[in-house]
Structures are given as C-alpha cells and as structure tokens.
Amino acid sequence: MTTTVTLGLEGHPLAAWRAILHDRAPVALDPAARPRVAAGAETIAAIVGRGAPVYGVNTGFGKLAHARIEADDLATLQRNLVLSHATGVGPALPDPVVRLILALKMASLARGASGVRWETVQFLERMLAADILPVIPAQGSVGASGDLAPLAHMAAAMIGVGDARAGGEVLPAAAALARAGLTPLALGPKEGLALLNGTQVSTALALDGLFAIERVFRAALAAGALSLDAALGSDTPFDPRIHALRGHAGQSDVAAALRALVADSGIRASHKDCGKVQDPYCLRCQPQVMGACLDLLRQAGRTLAIEADAVSDNPLVFAETGEVLSGGNFHAEPVAFAADILALATAEIGSLAERRVAMLTDGSISGLPPFLTRRPGLNSGFMIVHVTAAALAAENKQRAAPASIDSLPTSANQEDHVSMATHAARRLGEMAGNAAAIVGIELLAGAQGVDFHAPLASSPILERVRATIRAAVPHLDEDRFLAPDLAAARSLVIDGAIAAAADAAWTTIALD
C-alpha cells in the first residue's frame, strides 16, 4: 500500500512528489500546520476590519492595484478575479499532473503565509481524496505573476465553475463536487488571489519532466553499455582513476554505474587483449557526457524540491508582526532555468544515443553486419530505424532552445519581465518521450548486436536487460513491420522496465 504523503510545515523530498505523481499516493494535511494557517487568516481579517489598503485584499489587481474596493464587494472581488483569469486554452493537462498541482498548492498554503482559511486548504485535500480534478487547459501562462490562467481554472472548479473530472468522467465542476458531497467554496478575502497566484503548474510540469527524464537517463546508460558490448568496445574509459582526476561528481558516478553494468561480461573478456586502441566518443565519452547530464538533473532536482515547498503567491502574510508584504515570489525564473537545463540534458541524452545507433549500423566501425542484418540488400535491417532516431534527436535539439530568455511584457507593462516557465516545463514531457524512443531504438540495436556474438553472453545485468527487450521484441532475422517494435521498446523505457532490469547498477546515480 502506498504511504500517505503528509503536507504541512516540513520540507518534502523529491520522492514524495514522485509518489503523488506516479503512484497516486494519498495526501493529508499536517494538523500541526493549522495554527499558522489560522494566524495568517486572522491577520487578513484584522486588516479588512481596519479598512487599511492592502494589495489583493481590498484593491484591484496588476495595473488596477490603485483601485480601492469596498468591504461589501470583497467576496465579489475574489470571485471576479478567478473568473476573469480563467483564460487557458489548449488540451487539458494530464490527471497525474493536475493531482500534483493540487498537492503543491496545498503544501504552499499550509505554510500559513498566504492568508487563507484552514477550510480552504482542507477543500483541496478533500478534492484529492475524492479524485475530483479540475480540467486545466495547458496553455496561457507566461510564468509570472505565477501561473495565473491555469491556476484560475483550478480555483474556478473549487467555486463550482468550469469543468472537473470525477473518477475520470468530465462533469460541470459543481456536479463533480456534489458527487463527492462537497459544496462549492465561498472565497474569503485574498483567497482567490492566493489560489491562482503561484508557480505550482510550472513546478508540477517540471517535476513530471524530471521524473520522466530520470527513467530515460537510466535506460540510456543501460543501452550505452549494451552497445559497448555489441561493438566489442573497451571498459577502460570507465576506470575510476580517470574520473577522479577531473573531479565532477556526475562523471564519476556515471562511470561507476557503467562499470557495474558491464561487470563480468563474457563478451568483454573475449577481446580483452585485442589490438583495438580507442573507441568512438559515443562509447568512450559516456561518463563525461552522461555525467554532465546527471549533474544538470541533480541541480534541477534541488531547485524543484525547494520550489515545491515554496510560498510563491503575493502578497505574503507575516502574522507575527501583522504585516502583509508585496514582493515577487510568483516569478518562476528558478523553475524556467531548471526546465531549460533539463531540456539541454534531454537533448544530449538522445543525441549520444543516436550516435551509438549510427555507429552500430555502420559495419565499418562496429564490425557488425551492415545495418545489423545478415542479408543486407535483400533486407534493410536497421537502416531506417536509425533515420527515425536521427529525426527525433534533431527535433529535441530544436526544442532545447532556452525559453527563459524569451520574456514578453504583460498587464500594460506592469508585469514587464516574465519567466515563460510553464511552457519551458511543458515541453519536457514530449522531449522525454522523443528521447525514450531514441533510447528504445538503441536498445533494439544493441540487443541485435549482442545476439550476433552468441554463444558469448554479456554481463549478468545486461543479460537481464536483453531478456526484458526480447520478451517484448524478437530478434530481427528478416525485414518486418517495425513500428510495433519501436513502440514496444519506447514503452519499456517510459514504463521503467529497462531501469528496473538494471536496478543493481544505480547505487551511485540517485537524484535525491
């Protein structure tokens, strides 16, 4: 049974967010957070009682912040804010991502600095428990002031407006809430602003990308080691002394993983004393390239772990002094930078794998039959399979251009620099899918190459990997309809089957 993730005052590791996203881990509020949340709400109530002007409580928003709002209109102000900001377009975000968005918003509000009532935070908890998920369009946020449009769709569902999924069925939000025995939330002062202001959508998308890329990364290491054996390559470049002299943690850790992957390979032992001097870079420089990617994944993971627990709405309530301070925590630049470096790493993981597919299919370099087929000419073998890998690698390179530098002013130049974090993060899912397809192609090519060395066997770990591949895709003896083979191999990467088959090699490459 999946352990419940408790959200409240303490920080949470990446594993907690991974469990919510992938395992549908139950989520619960920490009761210890209640006094702090209540203190923040009481501070807002006191301000309303005094009539002091505070942004977002009794004023307009953005460029209209100068407009004072009378006490009788404060509830209407918050409702109008939600309705006017729910302007998203495009396909709906996937349910697992929406579930994570709600959990991230819970964690942020539970810090007590947003001025919302405890029952408002509990409403999110109850929606998650009942599997009531707002339908949130994927497009429309520039990543400052927070993810306004998508989070407004989340908030709209909470007040019974828009659509929501209930048990997978799309219903009007009010009907979905009613099915769970919930009455639409009546927003208190500042609550609409607190719900739709923040970086939870871009952070959820970036975490989703990070976890997908993590699986692709591990599968790519297994594929690279399998290709090494298929091409009768050397494991000397993985010697720890080489990497100690350079000093990068990721490089040393990847080298250790590669040593574990190829340990006790019968194929490697068969050519230990061959006259081959050096392998192509795609084999020899795996620790350097993949190690640099691992360093980026870890850096992004640290940033996103901090952001996941952050209070990123505005203004912020400091109950201990009774102050409400206006700042800029909604600006998602840290998330945008994290997404951009993840995009770079993903493009390079796929690029290196594509180069190994090209090497394996070139018999003059690999020493294997041309295009990995015994009867070239009559059969094309892996010729066009490599073309597919090249096309996907090129597509990912194009998508890896940084989004964070592409700011456009909004809100009549009040919001004159934005992060573009949301689509920077959203592209990661498709990029990870492309990279998974490239790595899946390499796994097929590497397994095919190792097959040619029978009766010699690879290492125990790589033989488990090869058995996982062969359980889904048979050896290619003659040309056949290959699209299902590629789809099956991609699924083995995305679903984590390849990473699981090589699990014993991953002791040095954890993200957290």
β partners of residue 169: 166
CB 339 within 8 A of CB 421: yes
DSSP-derived secondary structure for 192-233 = HHHHHSSSHHHHHHHHHHHHHHHHHHHHHHHHHHHHHHHTT-
Give, for 351, the enclosing helix (H) or strand (E). helix 333-361
Distance, C-alpha 191 to centroid of its chain: 28
Please tell me the distance from the alpha carbon of residue 354 to that of residue 374, in angstroms, as a whole number: 22
Six-digit token string for 218 = 């591990």
CB 347 within 8 A of CB 290: no
Kindly name the residue from 16, 36, 55, 349 that is annotated as catalytic: 55
Evaluate the CA torsion angle 97, 100, 105, 111 in order and state its sign.
Answer: negative
Cα distances (Å, whole numbers) of residue 317 to 31, 42, 378: 20, 10, 73
The residue count of the chain comes to 512
DSSP, collapsed to helix, strand or coil, labels residue 12 as coil
Q: How many C-beta neighbours within 10 Å does residue 378 have?
A: 10
Please tell me the distance from the alpha carbon of residue 147 to that of residue 162, in angstroms, as a whole number: 17
Strands (E), 61-189: 89-92, 132-134, 137-139, 163-166, 169-172
Q: 94 — alpha (psi -120 to 50), left (phi > 0) or beta?
A: beta
Please tell me the distance from the alpha carbon of residue 259 to that of residue 455, in angstroms, as a whole number: 22
Please tell me the distance from the alpha carbon of residue 346 to that of residue 362, in angstroms, as a whole number: 25
Give, for 292, the enclosing helix (H) or strand (E). helix 286-308
55 is catalytic: yes
CB 177 within 8 A of CB 132: yes
DSSP, collapsed to helix, strand or coil, labels residue 7 as strand
DSSP, collapsed to helix, strand or coil, labels residue 459 as coil
At position 44, the amino acid (one-letter code) is I
Query: What's the alpha-carbon Rg for the chain, to the nearest Å?
Result: 26
Please tell me the distance from the alpha carbon of residue 31 to that of residue 368, in angstroms, as a whole number: 63
Please tell me the distance from the alpha carbon of residue 486 to that of residue 335, in angstroms, as a whole number: 33
Please tell me the distance from the alpha carbon of residue 315 to that of residue 158, in angstroms, as a whole number: 21
Please tell me the distance from the alpha carbon of residue 357 to that of residue 438, in angstroms, as a whole number: 9
Residues annotated catalytic, as ranges: 55
